[in-house]
Amino acid sequence: MGSNQNMRFYAYSHLSVTKRIFWFDPIMRFGWKHSSRKSWCKIEVIMKMYSEGRERPTKYRRRRIRWRWMLKWGVPAFVLLLALLLVWGFVWLKGKESKMKIPAVARALDSKKGGQPDTTLIIGVDKGSVPGEEESRADILMLVSVNPDGEKAAVISIPRDTRTRISGYKGYNKINASHAFGGAELTIDTVREFTGLPINHFVEIDFQGFKDIVNALGGVKMHIDKAIHDKYAGDVPAGDVTLTGNQALTLVRARHDVHSVPGGDLDRIKNQRDFLQAMLSTVSRQRNPFKVVRVVNAVSNDVKTDLSFMRMLGLGRKLRGGNLQMSTVPGVSRVMGGAWYYIVNTTEFQQMIDSFKSKQEVLPEKETLADTSNAGRSGVKVVVLNGSGVKGLATTVARQLTRLGYPPVDVDNSSSRYDKTTLYYAGSDSSKAGAVAADLAGVNEPVLESSENITSSYSAQVVVVLGSDYKR
């Protein structure tokens, strides 16, 4: 027999053993049909494996994707899951928003009428600057007006020391005291009376909440022109910086560093507005859902407002947009009754309010506004007396003032000890005394008093008596 015939005979002789394998095994059937030696070798190997009790290797076939089944059940399941997530997110967000509401304050707001601009009061309070402190003042006050079609917005910053009447209280006071007297509700009433504008919404945040939100964002990137070294607020390095919560708070509070914020409170207001826009830009770029959740948690815990999250985001977009104007209430700093006040120029302020109310526009600030404290230094005669009991302190302070641009400063010892640093000035020189007070790095709010006798006895326009509260 030929070789093929021998293989066939071998298969026939073992038919009783391989009958079931032959009929159901596709490889054997393939070999039977095609009488080649290669095919019959396959049959022989497989038959030998079965006769020895070994299993035939499993042959895996690629499974076909059942697209019809996927389209019929997969797509509806995905849509249902997405809908459930949206519903859960909506309920979760509404729960967070409810924590921010203060019904009593909401009742103090004015309802918005059709065709009128939307006005929001932003309040930053200094609660959290001193551990355990409960009473808080309005350290930041900004009025934001958005025109009815949402295309234009304007911001007016109100200096914290602005002299005005507080609703329900006699006499004049600093506008920031309104929050200490009656919280956000009284602050809204006071700003409404001060400006004559309706207040439709409010947003309030304290210092600790401010830091928490910045940290939840992972910091805020800004360029700082000059390093800040404020003995009371803290330090911020110069250059391109990612500000932490503490550094951001330092930036918006610093007003006692004559090198970085020479205009005091007015320069601080500019820093506040610059930071606000940088922070809103950081928020708008967030794509990380976990970071967004952290920010929402921080906002709901630390912010009080009548606005929803979506409304706050909308307001943020207006403040970040290019069609935005910002300005500060016009006025000058002056000492009155021994206290440092910001005195409003009523004529210019009324013009600003009319434009703000009708067109959501404000006149740009004068570039010289922040340099007011530098302009007259060279013409102010100052004498420094040491009433602290610390040897050499008067000499140290005199040298610091001279480096800032004051003419040579005379020094002497006070005839008595002073607990609080006090500045004496001639009757018409209160603004000069205020400028010197802002340049004193070792004291926050010194006492200012008018005294012709003291200033004339030292042939000076301002006499500084250092008290035991002065920090070297």
Task: Dump the DSSP string for 212-258.
Answer: HHHHHTT-EEEEESS-EEETTTEEE-SEEEEE-HHHHHHHHH----T
254-277 pLDDT per residue, tens: 887 767 787 777 788 888 888 888
Instruction: Say which CATH class 376-466 falls into.
Output: alpha beta
Token pair 């700003």 is found at 191
Contact of 10 with 18, CB cutoff 8 Å: no
Between 472 and 16, the higher pLDDT residue: 472
Q: Nearest to residue 189, comparing CAs of 305, 101, 306, 108? A: 108
Beta bridge partners of 162: 342
Percent of the chain topping pLDDT 70: 79
pLDDT band at 373 (very low <50, low <70, confident <90, very high): very low
> Which pLDDT score is estimated for 367?
45
> Which pLDDT score is estimated for 98?
84
> Which pLDDT score is estimated for 237?
93
> Which pLDDT score is estimated for 187?
94
Calculate mean pLDDT across residues 419-448: 82
Tokens of 175: 């506008």
pLDDT band at 109 (very low <50, low <70, confident <90, very high): very high
- Cα dihedral 405, 408, 412, 416, rounded to 10, equals -30
Contact of 73 with 155, CB cutoff 8 Å: no
Q: How far apart are CA 290 and CA 437, in angstroms?
A: 47
Tokens of 156: 């007016």
Calculate mean pLDDT across residues 157-161: 91
**130 three-state secondary structure:** coil
Angle (CA) 462 464 465, round 5° = 145
So where are the chain's domains?
Answer: 3-51, 103-224+264-373, 376-466
Average pLDDT, the chain: 79
**427 three-state secondary structure:** coil
Calculate mean pLDDT across residues 434-463: 86
> Which pLDDT score is estimated for 388?
92
Tokens of 31: 């070999």
Q: In this model, does residue 278 exceed pLDDT 60?
A: yes
Q: In this model, does residue 38 exceed pLDDT 60?
A: no
Calculate mean pLDDT across residues 349-353: 90
* Answer CATH for 103-224+264-373 from 3.90.180.10, 3.30.365.10, 3.40.630.190, 3.40.640.10: 3.40.630.190
> Which pLDDT score is estimated for 47?
59
Q: How far apart are CA 254 and CA 325, in angstroms?
A: 23
Between 182 and 47, the higher pLDDT residue: 182
pLDDT band at 378 (very low <50, low <70, confident <90, very high): confident
> Which pLDDT score is estimated for 60?
53
> Which pLDDT score is estimated for 318?
78
CB count in 10 Å sphere of residue 351: 14
299-333 pLDDT per residue, tens: 888 889 998 888 888 888 877 766 788 888 998 87
Between 61 and 290, the higher pLDDT residue: 290
Q: In this model, does residue 17 exceed pLDDT 50?
A: no
Q: In this model, does residue 18 exceed pLDDT 50?
A: no
Least confident of 19-28, 197-206, 220-229: 19-28
pLDDT band at 472 (very low <50, low <70, confident <90, very high): confident
422-435 pLDDT per residue, tens: 989 887 777 788 77
Q: Do domains 103-224+264-373 and 376-466 have the same CATH topology?
A: no
Between 454 and 152, the higher pLDDT residue: 454
> Which pLDDT score is estimated for 64?
62
Q: In this model, does residue 296 exceed pLDDT 80?
A: yes
Q: In this model, does residue 42 exceed pLDDT 60?
A: no
Between 17 and 370, the higher pLDDT residue: 17
Q: Nearest to residue 442, comparing CAs of 404, 397, 411? A: 397
> Which pLDDT score is estimated for 19?
47
